[in-house]
């Protein structure tokens, strides 16, 4: 690790020998993380007011998942979906994450629609030379139409995780079933202002 370039390292603590090695690099900053309790409510200033939002404390795992497509995600896909879903929860809504091999390869966020967020995520992945074939997609909110899964499919994405709950969920599920895509519902929407 000492051979890698990094300027700052934050850890719960350091063994004495490791600390001596890590501090040998000039200008490297080593920080010790202190325990901290985050408040359950967040406040953000907005034009002419303040927005109060409960902190999103939910992190889904497989017990929260409902596989609703005919195609079933593999164990590797499930692990990737958990990873992607953890990331998407921390992005500004509307948010889409594309991940592959537990690496974020594209994200779109803060858009007025999930289509725009998805297009932004695909463009970002392509711009940096990432291959979206066989990647997974996570959305912080449901898909009101099947167009998002169609765009994802055309980019090579094979597995999708989303909260579900749209009155037109059946359209997205039907598209997945017709194109051998797997889709997982979490039943929980992440929405970060």
Cα torsion 77, 78, 79, 85: sign: positive
* Tens-digit pLDDT profile for residues 92-121: 889 999 999 999 999 999 988 889 999 999
Which H or E run includes 178? helix 169-178
Region 174-191: mean pLDDT is 91
Q: Phi/psi at 78 (nearest 5 deg)?
A: -60, -45
Residue 98, strand partner residues = 106, 137
Dihedral pair phi/psi, residue 184, rounded to 5°: -125, 135
- Model confidence at 190, in pLDDT bands (50, 70, 90)? confident
**pLDDT, tens digit, for every residue of 155-177?**
999 999 999 989 999 999 999 99
6 — pLDDT class (breaks 50, 70, 90): confident
Summarize pLDDT for 8-44 with one digit per residue, the tens. Answer: 989 989 999 989 988 888 889 999 998 888 788 888 8
Which CATH superfamily groups domain 62-185?
AICAR transformylase, duplication domain (3.40.140.20)
Q: Angle formed by the axes of helices 169-178 and 147-154, to 10°?
A: 30
Q: Model confidence over 35-63: pLDDT tens digits?
A: 888 788 888 888 899 988 887 778 888 88
Its pTM stands at 0.77
Q: Which residues pair with 103 in a beta bridge?
A: 100
pLDDT at 193 over 70: no
Question: Euclidean distance between the first and final Cα of the chain, in Å?
Answer: 36
């Amino acid at each position: 690790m000492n051979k890698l370039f990094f300027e700052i390292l934050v850890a719960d603590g350091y063994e004495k020998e490791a600390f001596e090695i890590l501090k040998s690099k000039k200008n490297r900053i080593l920080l010790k993380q202190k325990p901290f309790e985050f408040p359950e409510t967040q406040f953000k200033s907005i034009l002419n007011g303040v927005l109060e939002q409960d902190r999103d404390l939910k992190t889904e795992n497989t017990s929260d998942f409902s596989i609703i497509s005919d195609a079933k995600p593999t164990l590797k896909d499930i692990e990737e979906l958990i990873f992607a879903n953890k990331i998407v929860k921390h992005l500004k809504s509307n948010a889409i994450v594309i991940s592959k091999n537990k690496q974020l390869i594209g994200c779109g966020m803060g858009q007025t629609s999930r289509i725009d967020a998805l297009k932004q995520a695909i463009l970002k992945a392509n711009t940096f030379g990432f291959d979206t074939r066989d990647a997974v997609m996570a959305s912080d909110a449901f898909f009101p139409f099947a167009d998002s899964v169609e765009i994802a499919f055309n980019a090579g994405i094979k597995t999708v995780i989303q909260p579900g709950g749209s009155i037109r969920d059946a359209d997205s599920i039907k598209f997945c079933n017709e194109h051998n895509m797997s889709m997982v519902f979490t039943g929980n929407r992440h929405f970060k202002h």
